[in-house]
């Protein structure tokens, strides 16, 4: 087993993959990305990640990307790595050109893939839940595009870590609405109803979020997708975070307030075990 990179279709050790200094991804953050998880060699919800990738490419009008080729490069790199439980990072930059705010025509995008062993969270975290803190929403207005401009996200995440929390949840000061976490989407159970903000420009349409909404309807759980005021989040019976690495993770402490009974809630647990069951079925049917 070996952690590998694939740069424009060529597989190599990660340390050997190099990008020129005038790449627009480096200079402007003019690039988009996806993080995809493989469970026992099965690329989980790959089609959904590819659809979102396509949406990001269209939103930034990055030209010259062949999505079928990108998908085969992902599969080839994963297979070559021999890693079963992997994190696949894919980044597509607009390409290399002398620095200019004007978007150059006819440049070739750089397609970067890495495949690494996943650093799983300890199971205990799912059993006990985590702490989250609230931070001011400081990001741009097109959070639905999975662009690599993640400075506000990493600053928020590091503030959360400093405050002893697992995640920072952004709150828009303009209207008091919860948007999402620094690298997760947010759900809450309020008066028995599963709530999450709508997938508009204010949040990333998380692949896990969408799957959880599907799971909830399958499980007969009442769902309300609508703007979520922070005042309601503070009073929630349950809160959980969703993400490719995170899966479904209960929040039992919000700032210094205990959420619900202070234990991971029943709907959270139910959805997480249903999620893992679906993963198990997908691995089994791929085998």
Query: Using CB under 6 A, which residues numbered 137 to 166 contact ligand PDD?
Result: 153
Rounded to a whole number of angstroms, the minimum distance from the CB of residue 203 to ligand PDD is 6
Paired tokens of 129 = 């839940």
260 lies in the binding site for ligand PDD (CB under 6 A)? no
Q: Which is the catalytic residue, given 120, 146, 257, 269?
A: 146
Nearer to ligand PDD (CB atom), residue 77 or residue 185? 185
Q: Which of 245, 274, 282, 283 binds ligand PDD (CB under 6 A)?
A: 245
Q: Which of 147, 171, 207, 228 binds ligand PDD (CB under 6 A)?
A: 207
252 lies in the binding site for ligand PDD (CB under 6 A)? no
Q: What share of the chain is helix, strand, coil (3-state, %, to 5)?
A: 35, 30, 35
Contact in structure between 119 and 85 (CB atoms under 8 Å): no
Among the candidate windows 24-32, 130-138, 205-213, 278-286, which touches ligand PDD by CB under 6 A? 205-213
Q: Which residues pair with 251 in a beta bridge?
A: 130, 239
Rounded to a whole number of angstroms, the minimum distance from the CB of residue 181 to ligand PDD is 6
Contact in structure between 271 and 215 (CB atoms under 8 Å): yes
Q: Which of 30, 167, 180, 247 binds ligand PDD (CB under 6 A)?
A: 180
Q: Is 281 a catalytic residue?
A: no
Rounded to a whole number of angstroms, the minimum distance from the CB of residue 101 to ligand PDD is 26
Q: Which residues pair with 194 in a beta bridge?
A: 189, 223
244 lies in the binding site for ligand PDD (CB under 6 A)? yes
Contact in structure between 176 and 229 (CB atoms under 8 Å): yes
Q: Which of 206, 250, 260, 265 binds ligand PDD (CB under 6 A)?
A: 206
Contact in structure between 8 and 122 (CB atoms under 8 Å): no
Q: Which of 25, 243, 250, 260 binds ligand PDD (CB under 6 A)?
A: 243
Nearer to ligand PDD (CB atom), residue 97 or residue 156? 156
Query: Using CB under 6 A, which residues numbered 24 to 83 contact ligand PDD?
Result: 35
Position of tokens 């009974």? Answer: 261
Nearer to ligand PDD (CB atom), residue 65 or residue 245? 245
Contact in structure between 165 and 131 (CB atoms under 8 Å): yes
* DSSP conformational letter for 96: B
Nearer to ligand PDD (CB atom), residue 97 or residue 152? 152
Task: Find the DSSP H helices in the chain.
Answer: 24-28, 46-60, 67-81, 123-128, 151-162, 207-218, 230-234, 266-286
Q: Which of 53, 90, 204, 253 binds ligand PDD (CB under 6 A)?
A: 204
Closest CA to 258 of 131, 124, 128: 131
Q: Strands 193-196 and 223-225: what pairing?
A: parallel
User: How far apart are alpha carbons 198 and 188 in whole angstroms?
Assistant: 13
185 lies in the binding site for ligand PDD (CB under 6 A)? yes
Contact in structure between 59 and 104 (CB atoms under 8 Å): no
Nearer to ligand PDD (CB atom), residue 5 or residue 88? 88
Residues assigned a catalytic role: 146
User: Which residues here bind ligand PDD, judged by CB under 6 A?
Assistant: 35, 153, 180, 183-185, 204, 206-209, 242-245
């Amino acid at each position: 087993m070996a952690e590998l990179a694939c740069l424009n279709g060529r597989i190599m050790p990660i340390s050997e993959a190099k990008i020129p200094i005038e790449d627009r991804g480096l200079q402007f953050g003019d690039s988009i990305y996806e993080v995809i998880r493989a469970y026992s060699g099965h690329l989980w919800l790959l089609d959904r990640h590819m659809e979102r990738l396509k949406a990001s490419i269209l939103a930034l009008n990055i030209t010259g990307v062949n999505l079928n080729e990108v998908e085969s490069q992902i599969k080839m790199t994963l297979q070559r790595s021999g890693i079963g439980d992997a994190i696949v990072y894919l980044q597509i930059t607009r390409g290399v050109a002398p620095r200019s705010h004007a978007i150059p025509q006819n440049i070739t995008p750089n397609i970067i893939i890495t495949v690494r062993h996943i650093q799983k969270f300890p199971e205990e975290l799912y059993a006990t839940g985590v702490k989250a803190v609230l931070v001011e929403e400081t990001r741009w207005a097109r959070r639905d595009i999975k662009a690599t401009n993640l400075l506000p996200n990493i600053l928020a995440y590091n503030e959360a870590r400093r405050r002893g929390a697992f995640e920072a949840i952004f709150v828009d000061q303009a209207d008091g609405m919860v948007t999402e976490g620094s690298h997760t989407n947010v759900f809450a159970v309020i008066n028995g109803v599963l709530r999450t903000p709508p997938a508009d420009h204010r949040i990333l349409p998380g692949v896990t979020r969408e799957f959880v909404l599907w799971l909830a309807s399958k499980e007969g759980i009442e769902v309300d997708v609508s703007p979520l005021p922070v005042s309601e989040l503070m009073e929630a019976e349950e809160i959980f975070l969703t993400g490719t690495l995170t899966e479904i993770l209960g929040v039992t402490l919000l700032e210094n307030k205990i959420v619900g009974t202070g234990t991971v809630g029943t709907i959270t647990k139910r959805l997480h075990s249903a999620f893992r069951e679906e993963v198990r079925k997908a691995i089994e049917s791929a085998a």
